[in-house]
Structure 1
Amino acid sequence: MAHYNLAAILALAFASSASCAAPSYRGGSQIQWGACDPSVVSDTSLSCGFLLVPLDYQDPSVGTARLAIVKANATGERRGSLFFNPGGPGDSGIGSVNDNKELLLTVSGGVYDVISWDPRGVGNLTTPGEIFCFDSLAQYTTFFNGTIEITGIEETGNFTDPADVKTLLRQAPIMQKKYNEVGQKCLRSSSSKFLKYMGTAAAVRDMVSIANVLDGPDAPINYLGTSYGTLIGSWFVNMFPERVGRVILDGVVDPTAFATQEPSQMFSSQLVSADNIYIALLTGCALTGPSGCAAASDGDGPLEIDAKVQTLLTAAYDATKVNASVPVTSGNIRLDLFNEMYTPTDWSNFMNEEYPQLVQIVNGEAPANVSRALSRRSRLRLMDVIRRESLLERESEPNDSPSYTATAIWCADSVNPRGTTMKAVFEGIVSTAQNVSHMFGAGWPTPFYPCSFWPVRSVERYQGPFNKKLANKILIASNMLDPITPLPSAEKLAGLLGQDAVLVRQNGFGHTTFSAPSSCMNGVFSAYMTNGTLPPNGTVCEVDADFEVFDGVNTADILANIPGTDV
């Protein structure tokens, strides 16, 4: 639940009373497989095609959507299809299969064609495609100039300074007006007619439509979903319990919280592990020492390295107070750092390459070209952190403004507006920074904060229940420490499904178990997918010992040396 994924990452009242029993589209045509668009797919072994489906499954007269689909052929004797969604919302299924084909075939035992698709609102091959509410990055920047949408939220001392709180609350009416205006801009955009036909229920029905064409209308549907893809999965298994085949949900978004709370209220519970993962990064840096981590000096422990990070944040904060046009703010740095919590495979690179550049920029020591490049990178990331997509992919879009696809999906699925004010949202952020995540509670912007002011809800949203009796047992997976889809969410879903689900934990950190290599977890997934074998309840997998987070330091080393959890 995309990259603040999440994780990063919410409906008592629904715009439609549509029933799950609504007819699923059986597909009016076959998928004609052929070569993939080389601008999106570099792996020539993959096949691509399209399928037309109803925009509105309740009212097919509305028109059709066109789904762009990718297939990686089974390497062994084919037993059917495995459908995959990488999350976001807004991540490209096509791009993810291109980048992760070998891993997906490995964990599925090579006996399924791995199928994914760009959901509605993703990329420019599926229709409706990417959602843009501004014509250019320059227009977006001008519109939000002087607001926290550009700078992030500036605060120090875990948001305990009353002056910082006052400064933030002063922006509440400004940002509420801006977000209301953004909603109207989106309604005037070329994508406006599609906004109510986007969302998770549509993604579920689209997947069923593809499965009906490929495997038949009565065949079990096998599915692997990560992050937001687990919300698609939990809706799928409860909307179509009789179609459940072998299903893996990894990095769970709590579906009941999503169905009953506004995203801004739900977010604090998603961050319960984020600061512990930050401490893990500091611990790994300290263990490798100055030869493997640029932020470390001889004899430094995690607290000493944290002090340096806090000094950097304070210097950036102070510089912004003097000059609002600084290249990088403390809010930008926090958001960049939170992005790193997702992927320990990148920690060494971040601490040795980007962190020293940030120090130089904040201290005014960086060459102008480096300062400009990193500033642009940070600002492009602001709306794309959850998307988890590379800057190369974002910059290839014809429109260089931030995509609103993640917002359009989160908010289409969200509870109906409840009159929540931006002041109330900001007060929740202050509380989260003070009580849940000192480092990342004040992250801004995220794709779902506009939901209280978003003017559109989907024609269909699934309310629950989330404890249906399933045709087959499913597998739920989670890291012990996940920055945006924490372990308690996985435990809650597993509890709801009872005997129909088994939860396996990975003793590591990062977003989803795929954030670090684990032969144990790969084996669990493969055994389940190939022969239906589920691990015993309570199974814990370790991260591979030969995976070094920093030079000479693996996950087990960090977990054995991580200090107390208060930052």
Structure 2
Amino acid sequence: MEKRDQLSLLSDPGTEFRLVAEHTSKSKFTRRRVTVIVGALCFSAGLVYFSGQSPNSVAVLSGSQAPCGDLQNSSKEFLWENVKPSAQLEWVDCYDKFKCSKLTVPLDYHDKKAGKVSIAMLKIPSAFPSTSEEYRGPVLINPGGPGGSGVSLAKGRGELLQGIVGKGYDIIGFDPRGTGQTSPPLSFFPSAAARIQWNLKNGPLVNSTEGALSMAYSRAQVLGDIAEANARNASQYISTASVATDMLSIMKAHGRDKLLYWGFSYGSVLGATYAAMYPDNIERLVIDGVMDADEYYSARWITNLVDTDKTLTAFFTGCFSAGPSGCPFHAPSPQLIASRLDALYASVKARPVPVFTSLGYGVVDYSMLRQLIFTSLYSPYNSYPQLADALAALEKNDGGPLLGLYARSEEKLECDCPRTPVPELPLSYDAALGIRCTDGVPVEDDVEELQAHFEKLGKLSSFADVWAGFHLACAGWKVRPKWRFEGPFVGNTSFPILLVGNTADPVTPLSHAFGMSKKFKDASVLIQNSLGHCSLSAVSICTMRHIRAYFNDGVVPINGTVCEVQSKLFARGSDKDILETLSAEDAELFKVTKELSEGFQVRFPY
């Protein structure tokens, strides 16, 4: 199927994953540790990131005896602080089977006297030595955000991504400026505890109470002051233009002039920025879950929601098709399921549900419910079965399942620890806010203008209340970047760009992919006929075949090529029937892509 007018939006059932408690490994030497999951309703998260963590874990409250700190606090563990930064790539063994390095690059590419940045990188080595004809080079990956850690993605999912592009490639995840193990670090607060204390005072969604929008605006002003006072210098050098140039520096450190890249969500903005700045330095460039770069740099964040409600509608139709046994939130029609959800909204808004279970405690309120449903739109084939279970339980005044799902996107605050190394976090909230606010034009809206912006969003989607914070958060931002690329986002690239978009992506609509493709000569859009954000939110052997052929053989699919998916909504059975119909190569692609899709995680709410 090649023609766009032949598309049919799927509302089929997908796979289930179960929620279990996160277990902390025991150690001979332990210290009392209390881990608290904090409801951080801060305006600082990005679109999405792909996590290297297991999707089947949640930690709400742990008072057990456990090692103080987490991954890096044991002398036997790899310590990033022991990696010596160098202007040449010096790889050291890390995490038993990977290679790690810190590459020094100019803090300011236009003022070499300004200092240096040390870019942290983690590599999954190719199966072939660099001298072999089978070796293809290093593919840089970006998980999105902004603020997502490429190191975390490579560590947890890099081997799977290598299984798609091919063993001839190295997979390299790097932490962009201000994130993860890259230094200098970016932090608005003196400690994680101080930042979480600030976040605890956040208000509800902007339309949920009178004065909520004004409160959010005032808090954005204060947070902007905090960032300027505590992180002004670091914030000036974290722009996407600088990170794009860092990618070129990384490739040159490998002795190569052209980029190999696969970026997701915000990573599409990073990729498009690179392509516009360095069109002659591209070997392969895939941007997946494409955001319109002009929309991003304008700081408007409006047209992202064009297809959002389409994804929610698929929950209603999919639940209806699954029947009462497949979807406990079932009703006699999709419209009645939608009405059932509206009634639940009203009930929880009037009477928030208290929760106290062995896994944790809290209060399920209207804002939490709205945000949880919104995040489920990112990976519906995985999340909708659990969402339906949680909604049905909430109707019975049991908020435990929903609180458990919500906790997966929350922060952990660990107390009573001595000095620990910089933690390995999949997403930096401070960097997320700093990057997109320094990239965007200054947001000088007053409360009335922000209200008008919210109402404009509301004409596109029922989730305007959840999304409004992306624009609003920058209303208090004061730091301007030393270097900001202002376009145009066009180019005659040395190799055609491949853009991948889903037919019902809740935050990066397919129209963005087609709009961006017109700006780069011979660029091609590969359409995945599925719900969710980015191609890896579903399993499509067809999509992965095309991406593999693009990297390995330089085959660019015809613009508008459509790929179907194997994922089904509300499918709670095994994959045996699917696997039996596949070749050995396709079966391996299916397994790899499914595991990647189950690692899809949204660090939210903002």
TM-score range, shorter chain: 0.7 to 0.9
Q: Within the alignment, does 1:150 sit opposite 2:203 as a pair?
A: yes
Q: Hey, what's the Cα distance between the residues in 1 that align with 2:195 and 2:551?
A: 48
Match of residue 393 from structure 1: none
Q: Hey, what's the Cα distance between the residues in 2 that align with 1:514 and 1:272?
A: 20
Q: Which has the higher mean CA deviation after the structures are superposed, 303-312 or 231-240?
A: 303-312
Q: Hey, what's the Cα distance between the residues in 1 that align with 2:405 and 2:307?
A: 28
Match of 2:222 among 160, 166, 181: 181
Q: Over aligned residues, Cα RMSD in angstroms?
A: 3.3
Q: Hey, what's the Cα distance between the residues in 2 that align with 1:253 and 1:315?
A: 35
Match of residue 98 from structure 2: 46
Aligned-partner SS, 1:115: strand
Match of 2:189 among 133, 142, 167: 133
Q: Hey, what's the Cα distance between the residues in 2 that align with 1:483 and 1:454?
A: 27
Q: Hey, what's the Cα distance between the residues in 2 that align with 1:283 and 1:432?
A: 24
| 1:431-465 per-position Cα deviation (integer Å, ceiling 9, x unaligned) | 322x1112x11116745422122011211111112
Q: Hey, what's the Cα distance between the residues in 1 that align with 2:467 and 2:525?
A: 32
Q: Within the alignment, does 1:249 sit opposite 2:249 as a pair?
A: no
Q: Hey, what's the Cα distance between the residues in 2 that align with 1:517 and 1:258?
A: 28
Shift of 1:4: 7.0
Aligned-partner SS, 1:533: coil
Q: Which has the higher mean CA deviation after the structures are superposed, 346-355 or 451-460?
A: 346-355
Q: Can you give the 5+ residue segments of structure 2 that lack an aligned partner in the other structure?
A: 1-42, 50-84, 129-133, 354-361, 413-421, 576-606
| 1:199-234 per-position Cα deviation (integer Å, ceiling 9, x unaligned) | 201111111111111133xx2211111100011111
Match of residue 24 from structure 1: none
2:127 is matched by which residue type in structure 1?
A: T
Does the C-alpha gap of structure 1 residues 114 and 436 become closer, same or farther in structure 2, counting only changes over 3 Å? same
Q: Hey, what's the Cα distance between the residues in 1 that align with 2:199 and 2:142?
A: 33
Q: Hey, what's the Cα distance between the residues in 1 that align with 2:471 and 2:101?
A: 31
| 1:57-116 per-position Cα deviation (integer Å, ceiling 9, x unaligned) | 111211111111011122352121111111111111111112222331133232211112
Match of residue 386 from structure 1: none
1:97 is matched by which residue type in structure 2?
A: A
Does the C-alpha gap of structure 1 residues 514 and 375 become closer, same or farther in structure 2, counting only changes over 3 Å? closer
Match of 2:556 among 534, 554, 557: 534
Q: Hey, what's the Cα distance between the residues in 1 that align with 2:107 and 2:516?
A: 30
- After TM superposition, the score normalised by the length of structure 1 is 0.77
Q: Within the alignment, does 1:491 sit opposite 2:491 as a pair?
A: no
Q: Hey, what's the Cα distance between the residues in 2 that align with 1:227 and 1:330?
A: 27
Aligned-partner SS, 2:302: helix
Match of residue 425 from structure 1: 450
Does the C-alpha gap of structure 1 residues 139 and 200 become closer, same or farther in structure 2, counting only changes over 3 Å? closer
Shift of 1:374: 4.7
Match of 1:406 among 418, 425, 432: 432
Match of residue 551 from structure 1: 572
Does the C-alpha gap of structure 1 residues 397 and 374 become closer, same or farther in structure 2, counting only changes over 3 Å? farther
Aligned-partner SS, 2:301: helix
Does the C-alpha gap of structure 1 residues 254 and 289 become closer, same or farther in structure 2, counting only changes over 3 Å? same
Q: Hey, what's the Cα distance between the residues in 2 that align with 1:359 and 1:129?
A: 44
- Taking the TM superposition and a 5 Å limit, the aligned residue runs for 1:354-365 are 354-360=390-396, 363=397, 365=398
- After TM superposition, the score normalised by the length of structure 2 is 0.72
| 1:339-379 per-position Cα deviation (integer Å, ceiling 9, x unaligned) | 1111123224422553345445xx3x55xxx4996598389
Q: Hey, what's the Cα distance between the residues in 2 that align with 1:444 and 1:269?
A: 11
Match of residue 499 from structure 2: 476
Match of residue 60 from structure 2: none
Match of residue 441 from structure 2: 415
Q: Which has the higher mean CA deviation after the structures are superposed, 447-456 or 462-471?
A: 447-456
Q: Hey, what's the Cα distance between the residues in 2 that align with 1:203 and 1:58?
A: 14
2:145 is matched by which residue type in structure 1?
A: G
Work out whether residues 152 and 329 of structure 1, in 8 Å CA contact, stay in contact via their aligned partners in 2. Answer: no
Q: Which has the higher mean CA deviation after the structures are superposed, 448-457 or 308-317?
A: 448-457
Work out whether residues 148 and 428 of structure 2, in 8 Å CA contact, stay in contact via their aligned partners in 1. Answer: no
Does the C-alpha gap of structure 1 residues 345 and 74 become closer, same or farther in structure 2, counting only changes over 3 Å? farther
- Taking the TM superposition and a 5 Å limit, the aligned residue runs for 1:103-122 are 103-122=160-179
Q: Hey, what's the Cα distance between the residues in 1 that align with 2:149 and 2:121?
A: 10
Bigger helix share: 1
Q: Hey, what's the Cα distance between the residues in 2 that align with 1:7 and 1:52?
A: 27
Match of residue 36 from structure 2: none
Shift of 1:184: 1.2
Match of residue 524 from structure 1: 546
1:179 is matched by which residue type in structure 2?
A: A
- Taking the TM superposition and a 5 Å limit, the aligned residue runs for 1:267-282 are 267-282=301-316
Q: Hey, what's the Cα distance between the residues in 1 that align with 2:196 and 2:306?
A: 32
Work out whether residues 479 and 506 of structure 1, in 8 Å CA contact, stay in contact via their aligned partners in 2. Answer: yes
Does the C-alpha gap of structure 1 residues 128 and 549 become closer, same or farther in structure 2, counting only changes over 3 Å? farther
Q: Within the alignment, does 1:34 sit opposite 2:84 as a pair?
A: no
Q: Hey, what's the Cα distance between the residues in 2 that align with 1:536 and 1:380?
A: 41
Match of residue 347 from structure 1: 383
Does the C-alpha gap of structure 1 residues 526 and 373 become closer, same or farther in structure 2, counting only changes over 3 Å? closer
Aligned-partner SS, 1:467: coil
Q: Within the alignment, does 1:212 sit opposite 2:252 as a pair?
A: yes
Shift of 1:239: 0.6
Match of residue 329 from structure 2: 295
Work out whether residues 152 and 173 of structure 2, in 8 Å CA contact, stay in contact via their aligned partners in 1. Answer: no
Match of residue 38 from structure 2: none
Q: Within the alignment, does 1:461 sit opposite 2:517 as a pair?
A: no
Q: Within the alignment, does 1:328 sit opposite 2:364 as a pair?
A: yes
Work out whether residues 404 and 447 of structure 1, in 8 Å CA contact, stay in contact via their aligned partners in 2. Answer: no
Q: Hey, what's the Cα distance between the residues in 2 that align with 1:257 and 1:376?
A: 29
Does the C-alpha gap of structure 1 residues 257 and 348 become closer, same or farther in structure 2, counting only changes over 3 Å? closer
1:430 is matched by which residue type in structure 2?
A: E
Q: Hey, what's the Cα distance between the residues in 2 that align with 1:309 and 1:130?
A: 40
* Residue-pair matches, total: 479
Q: Hey, what's the Cα distance between the residues in 2 that align with 1:402 and 1:519?
A: 32
1:81 is matched by which residue type in structure 2?
A: P
| 1:396-420 per-position Cα deviation (integer Å, ceiling 9, x unaligned) | 9599x98322110000101134x31
Q: Hey, what's the Cα distance between the residues in 2 that align with 1:329 and 1:416?
A: 33
Match of 2:120 among 46, 68, 73: 68
Q: Hey, what's the Cα distance between the residues in 1 that align with 2:188 and 2:447?
A: 23
Aligned-partner SS, 2:325: coil
Aligned-partner SS, 2:222: helix
Match of residue 564 from structure 1: none
| 1:137-187 per-position Cα deviation (integer Å, ceiling 9, x unaligned) | 576556773xxx3322344xxxxxxxx6xx2xx444443332211111122
1:62 is matched by which residue type in structure 2?
A: A
| 1:450-481 per-position Cα deviation (integer Å, ceiling 9, x unaligned) | 21220112111111122221111111110011
Shift of 1:256: 2.0
| 1:12-45 per-position Cα deviation (integer Å, ceiling 9, x unaligned) | xxxxxxxxxxxxxxx9632221233x5xxxxx32
Does the C-alpha gap of structure 1 residues 133 and 209 become closer, same or farther in structure 2, counting only changes over 3 Å? same
1:73 is matched by which residue type in structure 2?
A: P
Q: Which has the higher mean CA deviation after the structures are superposed, 371-380 or 501-510?
A: 371-380
Does the C-alpha gap of structure 1 residues 350 and 376 become closer, same or farther in structure 2, counting only changes over 3 Å? closer
Q: Hey, what's the Cα distance between the residues in 1 that align with 2:342 and 2:194?
A: 32
1:468 is matched by which residue type in structure 2?
A: G
Does the C-alpha gap of structure 1 residues 205 and 379 become closer, same or farther in structure 2, counting only changes over 3 Å? closer
Shift of 1:502: 0.9
Work out whether residues 348 and 550 of structure 1, in 8 Å CA contact, stay in contact via their aligned partners in 2. Answer: no
Q: Which has the higher mean CA deviation after the structures are superposed, 451-460 or 229-238?
A: 451-460
Aligned-partner SS, 2:410: helix
1:377 is matched by which residue type in structure 2?
A: A
Match of residue 79 from structure 2: none
Percent identical residues: 28
